[in-house]
Structure 1
Amino acid sequence: MTTIASSAPSADSASHHEPQWAAALFILLGASVWGISWYPYRLLAGWGLGSMLASSMTGAAAAVLAAVVLRRHFGTFQWSWLIPALGIAAGITNAGFVWGTVHGTVMRVLLLFYLTPVWTALLARLWLHERLGWRGGVLLALALSGAVMMLWSGEAGTPWPGSAAEWAGLIAGLAFACNNVLSRLAGQRHPTMRPEMRTVVVFTGCALVGFPAALLLDGVHAVPAAFSQGNTWLLLVGMACVLVGGNAMVQRGLQRLPANRAALLMLFEIVVAAVSSALLTAERLSPQEMAGGACIILAGALSGLSRRK
């Protein structure tokens, strides 16, 4: 998934003069891609292609496509331990997000994923020595209260994830927080490296993590049948193009908007997911689950607003 916590990248002349409304539109469109991305993976699973193998293949195609499109920036690439760490974090994020939304209730998994601000604040305090402050503590309490409220309304009757899919969404959010903090740290340690290079690293990580996850989690007996269908290949290639395009739009928006404002706009992903899951599935949230989800979204929104200058 797209990183949204990197340090401010150097902008080219075209994006520097781009109006802020256009940059915001790019981020909203990129968020929309991730808000609906769960559905193609469910289609592929229905055709017999496991979600993890589909995720790995899509990541590999997206990495190749991104490398071709961004090849002129490879001269700025700098190697360090942050590169594989960022790729692994992104791969775990994508694997947990895809597996959770394919096998669980989309909105419950996505809201657990959006506990990311909680983990980002804690990891930034630990790794980047950023102060949390009393406002941050209040927002963390609000987000965690929303999670407890939402989870306690589930079938398990306990304030923690009640299914493997929900655990996958929670772990994906934690990995996404690691991804954000590592991306910010990479921007600080390697200021001359173009941020587009992290896009290639992210998709490469999705490919590399997705394959062993497929061996562990997918039922591979149906894979040959899925590959015999032309629709499978068309959808995989189409998803790779859309994911690269969505990532590029967000990166373009980040060149004009502060990262914290972009984080607020990225919450539009939840709106798209809510509408798409309501239209395309029979899944519905209870009033208690919606109230808990609202607390999580509010905490994420206030987290971005509280850091705006």
Structure 2
Amino acid sequence: MPRALPVFALLFNALVWGCSWWPLRTLNAAGLHPLWATALVYLAVLMVLVVALPASALSFVRTPKLWLLAAAAGLTNICFNWAVALGDVVRVVLLFYLMPAWSVLLAWWLLDEPPTPLALLRLLLAFAGVALVVVPPGAPLSRLASGLSATDVLAVAGGFCFALTNVFLRRFNQTPERDRMVAMFSGGFVMATVGACAATGLALASAPPAPAAGWLWVAAGLALAFMLGNLGLQYGAARLAAGTTALVMLSEVLFASASSWLMGAAQLAPRMLAGGALIVLAALLALLPRRRQQATRGAATMDHSP
């Protein structure tokens, strides 16, 4: 059982994010726009982190390179939360999981890692999946851009920012994990607050409603879930190989698809299922080089963290 605990911890984190669309939509229905909801939730988590990890909070303020990580993580959250609260949940999650494809291009650009033939195959599969999800049946491929809705663009942008976040995490891997965690939650709060103020000023979002017990409890529950989910991620990722962690985290697609379909927030059309299968396959292929590398290292791989 102890060996299974890290897997269950990662599954809990995937469950939190896969089902986060429901409280976000509940808050939106109560008049709290997803951007304001994200700002409020991340403020609550950040306050706890600052009290619990004051040294890490000071380190973040004094380390400019962590501000890049904060910006990327913050943009990831506002794009994903905004999209999943308003769009088709399965479609949003699938487009968001283009992240492994973006990682290939970003690693080439920022880390000087040229793509391998397998990486190029992943790109081809991922973007073929997007074409199936986005382009209407019978329409030419040239309709790809016109088939994207505003929530689709947010989902794709969120996946790109998530890939950028992962690249920065690799680039700053010598920085203490606690400092990086504070940076990511700080970015979530700051970017969501700036985005919410801008959207409200441009009449894209309404001002926050007066505090009410109903939606405040939902926001508090979501903040607690995000915090516990992050703890689960830290616990599981520190005890499992990086490839295993990435594989388990793909269960977020399953949790999001099942929960949204059962509650009528998504439609599982054949084209979407086929496109989703290609996108998930591209993500799975990203694990092959890691697994081959880990196989040559023997049992020591179980001690590696991502």
CA contact (8 A) 2:89 2:265 kept: no
CA contact (8 A) 1:153 1:288 kept: no
Distance 1:19 1:181, change over 3 A: farther
Aligned to 2:208: 223
Deviates more, 1:297-306 or 1:215-224: 215-224
SS of the equivalent of 1:307 reads helix
Aligned to 1:10: none
Q: 1:303 aligns with which of 280, 286, 295?
A: 286
Deviates more, 1:80-89 or 1:151-160: 151-160
Aligned to 2:216: 233
Q: Distance in 2 between matches of 1:43 and 1:78?
A: 34
1:248 aligns with 2:234: no
C-alpha displacement at 1:154, in angstroms? 7.2
C-alpha displacement at 1:195, in angstroms? 0.8
C-alpha displacement at 1:172, in angstroms? 0.3
Deviation sequence 1:218-277 (CA, Å, 0-9, x none):
5665623xx331122222122111101101110111111122321111100010000110
1:184 aligns with 2:170: yes
CA contact (8 A) 1:76 1:194 kept: no
SS of the equivalent of 1:146 reads helix
Q: 1:206 aligns with which of 164, 188, 207?
A: 188
1:170 aligns with 2:156: yes
CA contact (8 A) 2:56 2:182 kept: no
Deviates more, 1:66-75 or 1:114-123: 66-75
Unpaired stretches in structure 1, ≥5 consecutive residues: 1-17
SS of the equivalent of 1:228 reads coil
1:261 aligns with 2:244: yes
C-alpha displacement at 1:286, in angstroms? 1.3
C-alpha displacement at 1:51, in angstroms? 1.0
1:159 aligns with 2:141: no
Aligned to 1:137: 120
Q: Distance in 2 between matches of 1:270 and 1:165?
A: 17
Deviates more, 1:103-112 or 1:231-240: 231-240
CA contact (8 A) 1:87 1:205 kept: yes
Deviation sequence 1:137-159 (CA, Å, 0-9, x none):
11111111111111113799722
Q: 1:108 aligns with which of 91, 97, 103?
A: 91
Q: Distance in 2 between matches of 1:223 and 1:179?
A: 29
Distance 1:95 1:185, change over 3 A: same
1:43 aligns with 2:31: no
TM score, norm. by length of structure 2: 0.86
Q: Distance in 1 between matches of 2:113 and 2:3?
A: 28
C-alpha displacement at 1:196, in angstroms? 2.4
C-alpha displacement at 1:62, in angstroms? 1.1
CA contact (8 A) 1:110 1:169 kept: yes
Amino acid at match of 1:170: V
1:125 aligns with 2:111: no
CA contact (8 A) 2:40 2:189 kept: yes
Deviation sequence 1:46-88 (CA, Å, 0-9, x none):
0111110011111111111233334476687694332111111
Amino acid at match of 2:178: E
CA contact (8 A) 1:119 1:177 kept: yes
Deviation sequence 1:152-172 (CA, Å, 0-9, x none):
137997223521111000000
Distance 1:78 1:230, change over 3 A: closer
Aligned to 1:90: 73
SS of the equivalent of 1:238 reads helix
C-alpha displacement at 1:19, in angstroms? 4.8
Aligned to 2:132: 149
Report how many residues are paired.
Answer: 286
Deviates more, 1:22-31 or 1:165-174: 22-31
C-alpha displacement at 1:104, in angstroms? 0.9
C-alpha displacement at 1:129, in angstroms? 1.9
SS of the equivalent of 2:286 reads helix
C-alpha displacement at 1:203, in angstroms? 1.2
Q: Distance in 2 between matches of 1:35 and 1:282?
A: 13
Distance 1:221 1:121, change over 3 A: closer
Deviation sequence 1:188-241 (CA, Å, 0-9, x none):
xxx2x42122221111111111112112335665623xx331122222122111
Amino acid at match of 1:228: P
Q: Distance in 2 between matches of 1:20 and 1:115?
A: 30
Distance 1:228 1:64, change over 3 A: closer
CA contact (8 A) 2:88 2:265 kept: no
Distance 1:229 1:74, change over 3 A: closer
CA contact (8 A) 1:149 1:159 kept: no
